[in-house]
């Protein structure tokens, strides 16, 4: 196919059946968002918020764009801004993976690191400070309605079309900004009302399950960290506050079930997807899949489940996900290198 620019390739990601890991009698699928051009679901958000700002006139030609990000939104924005000619500055807590900041810089963005101790709220406040000081356009991914609107137009529509004529019993997702959750749930509740919406969050940051309210500033941004949050290794998931967009889904009552997914289990499932299905996703994808497997445990035969896989495993090379993956040959690989004809690998 021919495209006028890289931006035309955003969306239309595949829904793929899980064959070897799915429990018997359960139809388990994943939607692989790493098929987006910069390998994550946040490519959709980036394109949606920039084009909405262009349309409204809030973003002027040549104006600098600024955003707080754990990485994937910044990478998506770097792609969009490069294609459209906007300078980009991102703020990012120093605790997030090194490869993310390198990717953004490679794409031409400036990356301002904020202290890990200030968590997600710190990088958000820094982005606001820079926007106010310099007259830059702040995309406000955690409050911007263009974010869920993009998912309503694209992701939700794709899911409904993929299961046209079939019953989709469960849709499983995590949340970062809440754009995917809120946008897709609008479509499912209208066009597939029997589909149950399952949201995953780490036990150490079970903010939705806690029911505790989020303190907010007048613009909807977080005033403080949420009381139920503690640090966790699922990058892109569950910042230290409940985004206003996520709160929309909570207040609308669209969430049917909340599943707590331990990060260690998520990492195990990420590796299992790679080694048993050839599907390469990160910690957030593995954790969402963990939630789907939890749902499948009690699901009757014939149940159909779809899990979102937000990004690629390559975003996590410097994280605990790859801690046990060696760069050098292990003993078995050395033995293979020396083996005679007829040598067989162990199971």
Are 217 and 243 within one domain?
Answer: yes
User: Which helix (DSSP H) or strand (DSSP E) does residue 185 occupy?
Assistant: helix 179-191
Are 262 and 313 within one domain?
Answer: yes
Helices (H) and strands (E) in the chain — how many of each?
A: 12, 10
Are 47 and 164 within one domain?
Answer: no
Are 242 and 183 within one domain?
Answer: yes
Are 126 and 163 within one domain?
Answer: no
Q: Which residues pair with 199 in a beta bridge?
A: 173, 258
Q: Which residue of the set 40, 221, 284, 287 is catalytic?
A: 284
The C-alpha atoms of residue 103 and residue 291 are separated, in whole angstroms, by: 29
Q: Which residue of the set 31, 42, 119, 128 is catalytic?
A: 42
pLDDT digits (tens, 9 = 90+) for 188-236: 999 999 999 999 999 999 999 999 999 999 988 888 999 999 999 998 8
DSSP 143: T
Query: Is residue 271 situated within a structural domain?
Result: yes
Query: Is residue 233 situated within a structural domain?
Result: yes
Contacts of 235 (CB under 8 A, 6+ apart): 70, 71, 96, 97, 100, 282, 283, 284, 315, 316, 319
Query: Is residue 144 situated within a structural domain?
Result: no
Specify the number of domains making up the chain: 2
Mean pLDDT of the chain: 95
Query: Is residue 105 situated within a structural domain?
Result: yes
Q: Which residues pair with 216 in a beta bridge?
A: 222
Residue 134 sits in a domain whose CATH number is 3.40.50.1100
Are 203 and 227 within one domain?
Answer: yes
Are 209 and 318 within one domain?
Answer: yes
Are 161 and 289 within one domain?
Answer: yes
pLDDT digits (tens, 9 = 90+) for 299-311: 999 999 999 999 9
Is-catalytic flag, 42? yes
Is-catalytic flag, 190? no
Q: Which phi and psi angles does 227 have, rounded to 5°? A: -65, -20
Are 313 and 211 within one domain?
Answer: yes
| pTM (whole model) above 0.75 | yes
Under 8 Å between Cβ of 217 and 223: yes
Query: Is residue 149 situated within a structural domain?
Result: no
Are 187 and 278 within one domain?
Answer: yes
pLDDT digits (tens, 9 = 90+) for 108-143: 999 999 998 998 889 999 999 999 999 999 999 999
Q: Can you give the residue range of the structural domain that contains 220?
A: 6-35+155-322
Under 8 Å between Cβ of 158 and 188: no
Rounded mean pLDDT of 47-67? 98
The C-alpha atoms of residue 11 and residue 155 are separated, in whole angstroms, by: 7
Are 159 and 253 within one domain?
Answer: yes
What SS3 class is residue 56?
helix
């Amino acid at each position: 196919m021919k495209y006028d620019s890289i931006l035309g390739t955003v969306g239309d990601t595949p829904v793929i059946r899980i064959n070897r890991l799915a429990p018997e009698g359960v139809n388990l699928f994943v939607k692989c968002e790493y098929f987006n051009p910069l390998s994550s679901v946040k490519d959709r958000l980036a394109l949606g918020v920039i084009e909405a700002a262009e349309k409204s006139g809030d973003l002027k030609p040549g104006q600098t764009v600024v955003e707080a990000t754990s990485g994937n939104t910044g990478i998506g924005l770097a792609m969009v801004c490069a294609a459209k000619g906007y300078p980009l500055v991102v703020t990012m807590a120093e605790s997030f993976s090194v490869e993310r900041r390198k990717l953004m810089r490679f794409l031409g963005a400036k990356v301002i690191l904020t202290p890990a101790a200030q968590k997600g709220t710190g990088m958000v406040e820094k982005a606001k400070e820079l926007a106010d000081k310099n007259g830059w356009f702040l995309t406000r991914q955690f409050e911007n309605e263009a974010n869920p609107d993009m998912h309503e137009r694209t992701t939700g529509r794709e899911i409904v079309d993929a299961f046209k004529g079939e019953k989709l019993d469960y849709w499983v997702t995590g949340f970062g900004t809440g754009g995917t959750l809120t946008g897709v749930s609008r479509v499912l509740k209208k066009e597939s009302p029997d589909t149950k919406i399952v949201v995953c969050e780490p036990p150490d940051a079970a903010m939705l399950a806690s029911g505790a309210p989020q303190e907010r500033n007048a613009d909807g941004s977080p005033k403080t960290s949420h009381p139920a949050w503690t640090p966790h290794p699922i990058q892109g998931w569950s910042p230290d506050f409940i985004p206003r967009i996520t709160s929309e889904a909570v207040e609308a009552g669209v969430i049917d079930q909340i599943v707590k997914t331990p990060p260690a289990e998520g990492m195990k499932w990420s590796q299992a997807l790679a080694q048993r299905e050839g599907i390469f996703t990160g910690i957030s994808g593995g954790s969402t899949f963990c939630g789907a497997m939890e749902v499948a445990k009690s699901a009757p035969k014939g149940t159909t489940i779809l899990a979102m896989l937000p990004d690629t495993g390559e975003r996590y090379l410097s994280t605990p996900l790859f801690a046990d993956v060696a760069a050098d040959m292990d003993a078995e690989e050395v033995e293979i290198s020396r083996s005679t004809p007829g040598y067989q690998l162990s199971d």
